[in-house]
């Protein structure tokens, strides 16, 4: 019984001594007992993103300036970039993509190109994304909507 009390007191002293080390840590975010917050929803999945921007288009300059490809790769998305309509039609026929990012001016043409495929990718015009929306949030929502649409198509057939 005395050994248990001594062991309990020793454990309490050890815990109190160790808490000072936690407070001395330079990174206060990593304090013991605090949780971390993640920016993306747990349901978000990595998407296969096709970026269509002709070199002379204003969208190409915006994408280069904002480093969209590197941001998407950091979030785990796979990106492919094409610069002509011929390349776009070839790669759509050969590959499987979840989202196609385009400029507002060419979005209807791309929409017509993918409309024939029942498993077509979601076409997002970058110009129409609102200022209060993040591109990553819009891509995550488009992927979730596309997955839901594909599940419904499988169930109905």
Total number of domains constituting the chain: 2
* Higher local confidence (pLDDT), 140 or 35: 140
Whether residue 53 sits in one domain with residue 100: yes
| pLDDT score recorded for residue 49 | 93
**Backbone phi and psi for residue 51, each to the nearest 5 degrees, phi listed first:** -110, 120
Whether residue 21 sits in one domain with residue 79: no
Whether residue 108 sits in one domain with residue 129: yes
Structural domain contains residue 76 = yes
Whether residue 65 sits in one domain with residue 132: yes
Q: What DSSP string describes the chain?
A: -HHHHHHHHHHHHHHHHHHHHHHH-S-GGG-TT-----SS-TT----EEEEE--TTSHHHHHHHHHTHHHHHHHTT-EEEEE-SHHHHHHHHHH---SEEEE-TTTHHHHHHHHTT-TTPPEEEEGGGS-TTS-HHHHHHHHHHHHHHHHHHHHHH-
Share above pLDDT 70 across residues of the chain, in percent, rounded to a whole number: 79
Mean pLDDT of 121-149: 83
The encoded tokens of residue 21 equal 């080390």
The answer to whether the beta carbons of residues 81 and 122 sit under 8 Å apart is no
Whether residue 52 sits in one domain with residue 14: no
Instruction: Note the pLDDT tens digit of each residue in 14-54.
Output: 777 666 555 555 555 555 555 555 555 555 678 899 999 98
Which of 4-18, 76-90, 98-112 is predicted least confidently?
4-18
| pLDDT score recorded for residue 131 | 65
Structural domain contains residue 42 = no
Mean pLDDT of 62-71: 84
| pLDDT score recorded for residue 70 | 87
The residue segments making up the domain with residue 4 are: 1-37
| pLDDT score recorded for residue 81 | 92
Q: What is the mean pLDDT of the chain?
A: 80
Q: What DSSP string describes 15-42?
A: HHHHHHHHHH-S-GGG-TT-----SS-T
Whether residue 72 sits in one domain with residue 139: yes
| pLDDT score recorded for residue 92 | 87
Structural domain contains residue 43 = no
Whether residue 63 sits in one domain with residue 22: no
The answer to whether the beta carbons of residues 80 and 50 sit under 8 Å apart is yes
pLDDT band at 128 (very low <50, low <70, confident <90, very high): low
CATH number at 100 reads 3.40.50.2300
Structural domain contains residue 77 = yes
């Amino acid at each position: 019984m005395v050994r248990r009390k001594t062991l309990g007191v020793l454990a309490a002293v050890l815990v109190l001594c160790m808490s000072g080390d936690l407070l001395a840590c330079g990174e206060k975010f990593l304090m013991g007992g605090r949780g971390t917050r993640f920016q993306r929803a747990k349901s978000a999945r990595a998407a296969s993103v096709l970026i269509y921007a002709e070199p002379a288009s204003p969208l190409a300059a915006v994408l280069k300036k904002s480093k969209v490809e590197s941001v998407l790769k950091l979030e785990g998305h796979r990106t492919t970039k094409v610069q002509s309509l011929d390349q776009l039609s070839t790669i759509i026929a050969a590959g499987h993509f979840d989202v196609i990012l385009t400029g507002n001016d060419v979005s209807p043409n791309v929409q017509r190109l993918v409309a024939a495929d029942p498993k077509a990718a979601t076409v997002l015009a970058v110009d129409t994304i609102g200022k209060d929306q993040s591109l990553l949030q819009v891509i995550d929502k488009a992927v979730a909507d596309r997955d839901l649409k594909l599940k419904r198509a499988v169930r109905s057939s």
